[in-house]
Amino acid sequence: LTPAQQAEQQRLLTDATRRVQEHSYYMNQAIDDDDLPTALDRAASMLGELGDPNHHHSHSHHNSSSSSYSDGHGHGHIKPTLNPKNYYELHMRCLDELPNLESYLVDLTTPPPPMASPMASPMPAPIVPQPPA
């Protein structure tokens, strides 16, 4: 890579990492607030920073620092992408955040342990001092 391409790769990685950290922060806040829809939305946005896995990697030998994508209106654009090493680093940062979401989802689907019935284990009667006779 040329120095300009290296600088562009570093900028892309820094920007993507900042967005992953932002989505992760708000995802964890939503988890703390027990807000499942927001937690899932932020997790999806965080993972969305990885891009479309079907169109991300270029396997040809031409310039791999960019790939074509459509804006939904039939117009093709060039979107810069991370090289494999930087993509792997971003991928690992996303993976580091997923155990928090996994624990939250497991907690939501795990039934609470059964409560012991008050009659099942009677508490000893409190000792009440008797007045002198």
- pLDDT confidence band for 113 (50 / 70 / 90): confident
pLDDT for 130 equals 73
Arithmetic mean of pLDDT, 61-78: 42
For 127, the 3-state DSSP assignment is coil
User: Which phi-psi region, left, alpha or beta, contains residue 13 (left: φ > 0; alpha: ψ -120 to 50)?
Assistant: alpha
pLDDT surpassing 80 at residue 77: no
pLDDT given at position 78: 52
Report the pLDDT value the prediction gives residue 123, as an integer from 0 to 100: 60
Maximum Cα–Cα distance across the chain: 103
pLDDT at 9: 95
Is the pLDDT at 26 greater than 60? The verdict is yes
- Give the model's pLDDT for residue 1: 80
Whole-number Å distance between alpha carbons of 33 and 88: 31
